[in-house]
Chains A and B, each alone.
Chain A
Amino acid sequence: AQTVTQSQPEMSVQEAETVTLSCTYDTSESDYYLFWYKQPPSRQMILVIRQEAYKQQNATENRFSVNFQKAAKSFSLKISDSQLGDAAMYFCAYISNFGNEKLTFGTGTRLTIIP
């Protein structure tokens, strides 16, 4: 079974600075997708970024980028120029490309932005 681990329950960063959230996963499969979702206090789950495992190029989305290390099974999220609106729980998630349609989530990292 696949597992997703987020080892940082809480992180904080000064506004306008850069922060990196860690995620590791365990799978025996070679083809899969990885995601970062953001959950603000409203508790809605919002997609931040998606990465296909077969792509070596790291995904980017404006101020958000990932460092995908397939061999190390690591998928970290970098947030540049942090803004107050970035404060939220961040969940890393995994989905297999082999008929298993469910997202497996990590336990989340609570990010606080310090003004």
Chain B
Amino acid sequence: EPEVTQTPSHQVTQMGQEVILRCVPISNHLYFYWYRQILGQKVEFLVSFYNNEISEKSEIFDDQFSVERPDGSNFTLKIRSTKLEDSAMYFCASSGTRGTDTQYFGPGTRLTVL
């Protein structure tokens, strides 16, 4: 069964450093998403991406964040200058041909900012 994959599984970085989180969505999916879950809290939407552009973003997704689909398979989330409060689990998700198709999640990347 196709699945969303994410790398790395755990990233440790120093405050102020740039990080890139990588995702490979399900191959025939057209919609891509990033969500964040701070430990012990609920999952929060960051951004959705369709047709090579951002279709929606949340208040959390400020200028420090960017997304890119550099080739036909990868979808990345970049945090330019990490803060302590960026420590969280970051989930990538993808869905099929409509925005309301079921979103399938990757296993997540645990980001720890020191």
Contact = CB atoms under 8 A, between A and B. Distances in A.
Interface of A: 33, 35, 37, 42-47, 50, 91, 93, 95-97, 99-108
Interface of B: 31, 33, 35, 37, 41-45, 48, 50, 55-56, 58, 89, 91, 93, 99-100, 102-108, 110
Contact of B42 (A35, A47, A108): A108
B107 A44 contact: yes
Contacts, number: 61
A37 to B, nearest CB: 8
Nearest to A108: B42
Contact of B99 (A37, A99, A105): A99
Given A33-B100, A45-B91, A103 B45 contact: yes
A73 B31 CA distance: 27
B105 A101 contact: no
Q: Is the interface of B mostly helix, strand, loop or mixed?
A: strand
Contacts of B108: 43-45
Given A43-B107, A97-B100, 16 more contacts: A35-B102, A37-B105, A43-B108, A44-B107, A91-B42, A93-B43, A100-B56, A101-B31, A101-B33, A102-B33, A102-B45, A103-B43, A103-B45, A105-B42, A106-B42, A107-B41
A11 to B, nearest CB: 17
Contact of B43 (A33, A45, A46): A45
Contacts of B106: 44
B31 A44 contact: no
Contact of A101 (B55, B89, B110): B55
Most chain A CB neighbours (cut-off 10 Å) among B42, B89, B110:
B42
29 contacts: A33-B100, A42-B107, A43-B107, A44-B108, A45-B43, A45-B105, A45-B108, A47-B105, A50-B102, A91-B42, A93-B43, A95-B103, A100-B56, A100-B99, A101-B31, A101-B48, A101-B50, A101-B99, A102-B33, A102-B45, A102-B56, A102-B58, A103-B33, A103-B43, A103-B45, A104-B45, A105-B42, A107-B41, A108-B42
